[in-house]
């Protein structure tokens, strides 16, 4: 098996998802910490979107790819990892649906709720990135926090529907992506429902060090930001 090369930003939950996955799937990999380097010309020459996680592999048509969910899907397809991404088309479709729903709906709310507290830049066109005053920005952040409840409930009632994980009795790549996303909510003391707290604990228990090691980088960053705010 050739060693994978992952370019990562350790405080990021988008990165955490792939970092958990490669460990849980027992793939051979090396991690290149690109903190502060994503806008350098040599990085941009490979990846004009300047986004991480980025997988670098000769077999890829352009040599690299980004987007956490697509990277996990690719690695499951390439290495036939059905444990985290079932082979049956209908089951796979549900995992894909859950991941698109995370990236397209839940994550933007999480970003708007947490990025101001994390000190991350917000997306152009949003209140948080505008010249509006602090009260407008605080109101937008509050609305984003409130909006998180609905998709969370959808994960619980629709995707999990009485099973411990989106993947059923075992975590899937959608679970890895969801649990990593929820890690950021600690920065705003988001009051997770009891089921979500148990779910996060079950993810960590099920994946062990594969989860705990990358999670420690995210949690360490949150603790650092908190210590600076005092
Ligand atoms: N949807 C993407 C989001 C990736 C993303 O936003 N990456 C950020 C870190 S959280 C990044 O690499 N930013 C560096 C930059 O834009 O220069 C994914 O899931 O991978």
Residue-wise pLDDT for 74-114, tens only, equals 999 999 999 999 999 999 999 999 999 999 999 999 999 99
Burial class of residue 85 in the structure, from the number of CB atoms within 10 Å of its CB (0-12 exposed, 13-18 middle, 19+ buried): buried
In a domain, 17, yes or no: yes
Q: For residue 84, report the phi and psi dihedrals to the nearest 5 degrees.
A: -105, -5
Q: How do 4-8 and 29-33 pair as beta strands?
A: parallel
Tell me, what's the pLDDT at 34?
98
Distance 70 CA to ligand 1 centre (A): 13
**Which atom of ligand 1 approaches the CA of 12 most closely?**
10
* Protein residue with least CA distance to atom 14, ligand 1: 51
Residues 72, 177 contacting (CB under 8 angstroms): yes
Tell me, what's the pLDDT at 19?
98
Instruction: Give CA angle at 118 (185, 95), nearest 5°.
Output: 45
In a domain, 186, yes or no: yes
CATH code of residue 70:
3.40.30.10
Tell me which residue range forms the domain holding 194.
89-229
Q: Based on the domain organization, do 148 and 213 belong to the same domain? A: yes
Q: Based on the domain organization, do 166 and 198 belong to the same domain? A: yes
Q: Which of 209, 175, 163 is nearest to 101 (CA)?
A: 175
Tell me, what's the pLDDT at 163?
98
Residue 180's CB is within 10 A of a number of other CB atoms, namely 27
Residue 193's CB is within 10 A of a number of other CB atoms, namely 12
Q: Based on the domain organization, do 49 and 105 belong to the same domain? A: no
In a domain, 172, yes or no: yes
Q: Based on the domain organization, do 216 and 146 belong to the same domain? A: yes
Residues in the chain, pLDDT under 70: 1
* Protein residue with least CA distance to atom 18, ligand 1: 67
Q: Based on the domain organization, do 74 and 96 belong to the same domain? A: no
Burial class of residue 177 in the structure, from the number of CB atoms within 10 Å of its CB (0-12 exposed, 13-18 middle, 19+ buried): buried
Q: For residue 165, report the phi and psi dihedrals to the nearest 5 degrees.
A: -135, 165
Q: How do 54-56 and 4-8 pair as beta strands?
A: antiparallel
Ligand 1 pocket test, pick from 16, 41, 52, 70 with the greatest ligand atom count within 8 Å of Cβ, gives 52
Distance 14 CA to ligand 1 centre (A): 7
Pocket around ligand 1 at a 6 A CB cut-off: 9, 12, 14, 38-39, 50-53, 66-68, 103
Domain total in the chain: 2
Q: Based on the domain organization, do 114 and 219 belong to the same domain? A: yes
Q: Based on the domain organization, do 129 and 29 belong to the same domain? A: no
The reported pTM is 0.97
Q: Based on the domain organization, do 96 and 38 belong to the same domain? A: no
In a domain, 84, yes or no: no
């Amino acid at each position: 098996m050739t060693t994978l090369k992952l370019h990562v930003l350790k405080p990021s939950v988008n990165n955490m998802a792939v970092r958990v996955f490669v460990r849980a799937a027992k793939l051979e990999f090396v991690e290149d910490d690109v903190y502060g380097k994503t806008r350098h010309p040599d990085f941009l020459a490979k990846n004009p979107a300047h986004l991480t996680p980025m997988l670098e592999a000769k077999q890829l048509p352009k040599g690299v790819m980004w987007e956490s969910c697509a990277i996990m899907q690719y690695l499951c397809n390439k290495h036939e990892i059905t444990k985290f991404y079932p082979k049956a088309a209908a089951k796979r479709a549900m995992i894909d649906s859950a991941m698109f729903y995370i990236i397209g709906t839940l994550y933007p709310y999480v970003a708007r709720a947490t990025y101001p507290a994390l000190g991350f830049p917000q997306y152009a066109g949003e209140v948080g990135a505008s010249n509006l005053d602090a009260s407008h920005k605080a109101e937008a952040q509050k609305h984003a926090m409130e909006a998180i409840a609905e998709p969370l409930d959808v994960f619980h009632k629709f995707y999990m529907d009485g099973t411990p994980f989106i993947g059923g009795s075992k975590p899937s790549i959608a679970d890895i992506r969801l649990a990593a996303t929820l890690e950021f909510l600690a920065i705003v003391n988001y009051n997770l429902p009891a089921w979500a707290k148990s779910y996060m604990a079950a993810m960590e228990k099920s994946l062990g060090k594969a989860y705990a090691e990358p999670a420690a980088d995210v949690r360490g960053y949150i603790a650092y930001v908190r210590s600076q705010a005092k």
